[in-house]
Amino acid sequence: MTTTLEATAQVEAGALSVGLAERGPSDGPVVLLLHGWPYSIDSFSESAGILAHQGYRVLVPHLRGYGTTRFLSDETPRNGQPAALAADALALLDALDVADAVVAGFDWGARTANVLAALWPERCRAHVAVSGYLLSSQAANAQPLPPAAELAWWYQFYFATRRGELGYDANRTDFARLIWRTASPKWEFSEDEFERTAVALQNPDHARIVIHNYRWRLGLADGEERFDQVEQRLAERPPISVPTITLEGDSNGAAHPDPGAYRDRFTGPYEHRTLAGGIGHNLPQEAPEAFARAVVDADQMARSTEGDAHGTEAPHAG
C-alpha cells in the first residue's frame, strides 16, 4: 500500500509559515524529522507512521523553499545557509511549545540536526543523523578535494554559474530525478513516489534557496550577519554530546564522509549503523523501518542516560 505524508497545518514560526505534517498523539514524546535536497517530507511517509504507532508525536516540516512553507515577508533574504535552517527548526519548536525533541534527518536535514545537537543540546534529547557529522565552514569548503570527490559535487559548481541558476530553475524536476538515481543507484522508486516530491519542489522560493545554499558553501554568496556567530562556532567543528545514532546506506551514491572520519565528534552515548541491501542516500524512504528503529533506540539511549543519572529505570517508548 502506498503511504503518503501531507502537510495539514501552517505554523507561523520565525520568518516562515511552515507547512507541517504531524502524526501521533499530541502528548507523546516529540520527534522532529528533517528532510534534505532534492527531497521532501514524503521521505518520512512510512517512518513517521511507524513512530506515531509507537506513541511519538512526530513533526515533519517542509524546509524553507519546499512544499507549502512560505516566507512571511517578501523582504526576508532567501537564505539557504546552515544556520538559517537551524534557526527555522528552533523557531518551529518554540512556536509549538516543544521543550526538546529527538531530532533526526538526512542530507540538509542531517546537517540541521547536527547544528541543533552541537549548539543547542538542551533542545535535542537525542539525535539521528544519516551520513553522520556534516558540520563544516566556508573556509573548509574552499579546500580542494581529490578529483573523484570533486566529480561527486559537480552540481555545486554548476550552481555557481548563472547558467546553472537558470538551468536548475527551469529543470528542477528533471534535476531531482537525476539526483535521486545517482544518489540511490539501487533504489527502484515508483513514479508516484517521485511525483509526490516533485510537487514540493515547485515552491516559489525553492530555486533561490538551493542556489544560495551551494553558493554560500563555496564562499560565493554572503549569509545573513545575524548568523555570523553561529557559523563561527560551527566552523570549529564542535563535538556533539547528546545520545546519537548515525546511519549510512551501503549504496549511497552521494558524496558522504567515512564513518571513521567523524567518530571523534560524538562524545556522548553513540552507535553507528551501516545498512546493507542496496540502501542509498534517501535512507528514511528506502529503509523506513531501520530509520524509525534508530530514532526509538536513540531515544531509549537518552532515557537510559537520564535514568542512570537519577538512579531510576528508563521507561519504554510506546
Question: 46-98 pLDDT, tens per residue?
Answer: 999 999 999 999 999 999 999 999 999 999 999 999 999 999 999 999 999 99
Residue 9's closest CA among 65, 51, 61, 46?
Answer: 61
Q: Which three cell numbers stand for residue 106?
A: 538526512
CA-CA distances (angstroms) from residue 262 to 3, 49, 107, 169, 240?
34, 31, 16, 34, 11
Query: Do the beta carbons of residue 278 and residue 306 sit within 8 Å?
Result: no
What pLDDT shows up at residue 318?
37
For the chain, percent of residues with pLDDT exceeding 90:
94
pLDDT of residue 154 exceeding 70, the answer is: yes
Residue 47's closest CA among 62, 64, 60?
Answer: 60
What pLDDT shows up at residue 80?
97
pLDDT of residue 40 exceeding 90, the answer is: yes
Query: pLDDT digit string (tens) for 177-224?
Result: 999 999 999 999 999 999 999 999 999 999 999 999 999 999 999 999
CB atoms within 10 A of CB 160: 17
pLDDT of residue 313 exceeding 50, the answer is: no
What pLDDT shows up at residue 24?
97
Distance CA(84)–CA(88), nearest Å, equals 6
pLDDT band of 2, cuts 50, 70, 90: low
For the chain, percent of residues with pLDDT exceeding 70:
96
- pTM (two decimals): 0.95
Q: Which three cell numbers stand for residue 307?
A: 535514568
What pLDDT shows up at residue 305?
85
Q: Which three cell numbers stand for residue 256?
A: 558522504
Terminal CA-to-CA distance of the chain, rounded, Å?
24
Q: How much is the average pLDDT of 22-37?
A: 98
Q: How much is the average pLDDT of 100-126?
A: 98
pLDDT of residue 301 exceeding 70, the answer is: yes
pLDDT band of 314, cuts 50, 70, 90: very low
